[in-house]
Amino acid sequence: MIGLNCKPLYIENAENQLYNPTLNIKTTMTYLETAAQFYSEVAQTPQVGLCCVQSTPLQLPGLKIPLSMQEMNYGCGTTVHPTELGKQPTVLYVGVGGGLEALQFAYFSRRPGAVIAVDPVAAMREAAARNLEMALTDNPWFESSFVEIREGDAFNLPVADGSVDIVAQNCLFNIFEPEDLTRALKEAYRVLKCGGRLQMSDPIATSPIPAHLQQDERLRAMCLSGALTYEEYTQRIIDAGFGQIEIRARRPYRLLDSQTYNLETHLLLESLDSVSFKVPIPEDGACIFTGKTAIYAGCEDFFDDKAGHILQRGIPATVCDKTAAKLATVKPKEVIITDSTWHYNGGGCC
């Protein structure tokens, strides 16, 4: 019950156990409660640079972000992709933080109720509401009705099935243990309209994080020890039903150095920005676009693989990783596959 609107049932003792003074019940906190408590603390005393990568928040004409909101930028990349927000989408934002990305989404949608921001931590909801109130002063285009803050959590989103165009979360799902991550992904899938998009930014690990760090609940809450590898992370998205994933950015995020974290070698965490589409999974598997292209270098004017891909000689065609692998096998000498750029903005074919 930590961090919710109601009066806490338990108080924490020195051994990180929860103690109910009325009922004399002692229980250990779950890792989700530890995370909620952590975010209650950093809502009340902001920690500048807690999760963020070294980049300034997206700057947009006429958008002024209050300083207190910038100081609570607890995201590790961005989920706001300006070129795809032209149709005033309804956005469900999970884990509101200081409200930065909720404001950025509102900038595009500009209508009452377009952004629904959910958080189970009362102090965080209150901080976001304060920051959004401040944003009213410097942003004449902004109205408080554009963002609605609701109590709720990632496993039980307070909206109907198939009701939103976008679900976004930044630096939250990596905190979840794998089975909880699957639950959260399925819940996002439930509330999205067909064709809707799950826009995420999360740390991923370049090699599996050892158990002693994974079990450290405080590090997990700080987005430092719950990250999965790229392969595990994308597979969980596909297992939740998403038929297409586009990788928008992949960059270094943090180094877990061997001395501080008791590791055999340093372990690099990266930050991954992705967009996953609620579209059917093709029979031969989901499409993941990482920025690869296929270039036909044979003697004909074009190459037709009879599976929907026509490659003109010398002209790069964007392909998903599955198709890239198939083409490389079918025509290893005549089709050149370029490396993943980890920066793909839509427009390819499967």
Ligand X SMILES: C[S@@+](CC[C@H](N)C(=O)[O-])C[C@H]1O[C@@H](n2cnc3c(N)ncnc32)[C@H](O)[C@@H]1O
Residues that bind ligand X (CB under 6 A): 32, 35-36, 39, 51, 73-75, 94-98, 100-101, 119-121, 124, 153-154, 170-172, 223
The pair of three-digit structure tokens given for residue 98, joined into one six-digit string: 């200081």
Max Cα–Cα distance, the chain, nearest Å: 82
Q: CB of residue 253 vs ligand X: minimum separation in angstroms?
A: 12
Q: CB of residue 238 vs ligand X: minimum separation in angstroms?
A: 22
First to last CA, the chain: 46
The pair of three-digit structure tokens given for residue 188, joined into one six-digit string: 């996002």
Q: CB of residue 243 vs ligand X: minimum separation in angstroms?
A: 25
Calpha distance 189→242 (Å, rounded): 8
Cβ-based nearer residue to ligand X, 226 or 348 = 226
- Which of 81, 25, 92 has its CA nearest to residue 58? 81
Cβ-based nearer residue to ligand X, 168 or 320 = 168
Calpha distance 201→347 (Å, rounded): 21
Q: CB of residue 173 vs ligand X: minimum separation in angstroms?
A: 9
Cβ-based nearer residue to ligand X, 172 or 269 = 172
| In the chain, beta strands by DSSP E | 11-12, 17-20, 25-28, 91-94, 115-119, 147-151, 164-170, 192-205, 244-256, 267-277, 287-289, 293-296, 302-304, 310-312, 317-318, 335-337
Calpha distance 258→266 (Å, rounded): 5
Cβ-based nearer residue to ligand X, 183 or 322 = 183
Q: CB of residue 274 vs ligand X: minimum separation in angstroms?
A: 15
Q: CB of residue 264 vs ligand X: minimum separation in angstroms?
A: 28
Q: What is the DSSP string of 10-73?
A: -EE-TTSEEEETTTTEEEEPPHHHHHHHHHHHHHHS--TTSS--S------TT----HHHHHT-
Cβ-based nearer residue to ligand X, 68 or 340 = 68
Cβ-based nearer residue to ligand X, 218 or 313 = 218
Q: CB of residue 96 vs ligand X: minimum separation in angstroms?
A: 6
Cβ-based nearer residue to ligand X, 131 or 244 = 131
DSSP category for residue 156: B
Helix (H, G, I), strand (E, B) or coil at 134: helix
